[in-house]
Structure 1
């Protein structure tokens, strides 16, 4: 009978200890989760005051929440007497394996963070990046979506963008349009250049400042080649490009400049 009482007392003692530990773990979990939520809200509010990009805010919030939850679980396991050293080593090993398997994905993630923080371009900008030219529609953590000039949606990995040259055509208030015209060898290039400088100002959306540039670019057997360079806002580039080519053709023809045609000089020598 004494043995039964002893066993009963031991069972009650262990049950009490286990119950108190379970109760403590529940309280620990509730308080820990509340603190994790509080920390996340404080970080989000701090970044919102600094006007951090919303994409970066979501990423930081998720990363912080996952990290703190892992720490909380490890702490609760340690409270129950579980050897957390082995668990931590296992988590680290899994992390290394995932990192090795997802190296490219993690590289895109890191590049996406840098794109959001450094902001070489924003949504709506017209860029050339990763071998693609178009308008930025979305900047994600892993990839950036661009609509090309022929209206094809193209998704580029952020790692490719960040590791390559980025050209932002929208960053500056205007850009230069590159045009060329072949003159005949007997044409007055000074008069042609002056005529084009004046006529280009009549093309819609060509900027008066900086003034259009018309200079000799090169020489061929046919005659000189003029570089015709008006300036305009990026939104009007192709309109100015096509209108400029049409104006060159019509203005020079109306002014009576000869058409450039290849010519050869044939020298015939009679035997003495």
Structure 2
């Protein structure tokens, strides 16, 4: 009798449960393969139509998430769990879930606006959310950037959307702001001509607009000259450092003295 009861227990419960588990695993594996195929098809179709890479990445992520949710619901049905029974739980915990997910949902909504309004796209160099770098991906909830020191940074879309955003790649050129302190006794107009000759040799600066080299102010050390070449954003740091070298070469060639603050002592006579 005990053997018969054990056999009935196996036939009635364990075998059906095992079949459900195997079915769920099979659905998960096959569903994952199908989801990968569908997202790849979507990417290829949008790429052939030359859709913006930012929109392609965002659409692919959205489709993948939606299909995963549908796959989980299908697995729950196979396991005999009625998904409609979750409706009451969701309604009862609606306030708590809304509060807990408010940040996530705001990031999702901000991501949609970023894709629609397109203040930047993948490949642009931006400064937003306290970070500066090149955009590598605009995801459902966060934007991924690679910083200048090769760090991967993830910034919430809502933080980017609500904060001031600087896109360095929007305009065709960018200005490099540098200064050159000229000592007292050096003619600033002659110094400007010397600086222009050296700065003109820097590679990747633009011809239009031309570099701006002018007297910025007069101070106790002499004349402060501003040196402002223009270049493409990708060449910014190369032009920045090379222009500094050009300024140093100009100073060395002309033999200008080291700037120093001059003080005049006032002697008071005692009566």
Same fold flag (TM > 0.5): yes
8 Å contact kept, 1:201–1:208? no
Deviations 1:203-230 (A, max 9, x none): 1111111100011223321122111100
Counterpart residue number, 1:215: 214
8 Å contact kept, 2:125–2:132? yes
Aligned residues: 215
Counterpart residue number, 1:204: 203
| 1:50-89 matched pairs, under 5 angstroms | 51=51, 53-58=55-60, 59=62
Cα distance in 2, alignment partners of residues 115 and 245 from structure 1 = 37
8 Å contact kept, 2:168–2:233? yes
Instruction: Report the TM-score when normalising by structure 1.
Output: 0.68
Cα distance in 1, alignment partners of residues 233 and 57 from structure 2 = 27
User: 1:101 Cα deviation (Å)?
Assistant: 1.4
Counterpart residue number, 1:33: none
Instruction: Report the TM-score when normalising by structure 2.
Output: 0.69
User: 1:199 Cα deviation (Å)?
Assistant: 1.9
User: 1:55 Cα deviation (Å)?
Assistant: 4.0
Deviations 1:68-116 (A, max 9, x none): xx9xxxxxxxxxxxxx9x9977655555442221111111111111112
Q: Indicate how the Cα distance of structure 1 residues 93 and 193 shifts in structure 2: closer, same or farther if over 3 A, else same.
A: farther
- Greater shift after overlay, 261-270 or 234-243? 261-270
8 Å contact kept, 1:112–1:159? yes
Cα RMSD between the aligned structures?
3.1
Counterpart residue number, 1:237: 236
Counterpart residue number, 1:125: 124
SS state of the match for residue 113, structure 1? Answer: helix
8 Å contact kept, 2:58–2:138? no
SS state of the match for residue 114, structure 2? Answer: helix
SS state of the match for residue 224, structure 2? Answer: strand
User: 1:169 Cα deviation (Å)?
Assistant: 0.7
Counterpart residue number, 2:249: 250
Cα distance in 2, alignment partners of residues 183 and 135 from structure 1 = 37
Cα distance in 1, alignment partners of residues 50 and 211 from structure 2 = 43
Give unpaired runs (5+ residues) of structure 2. Answer: 1-41, 74-83
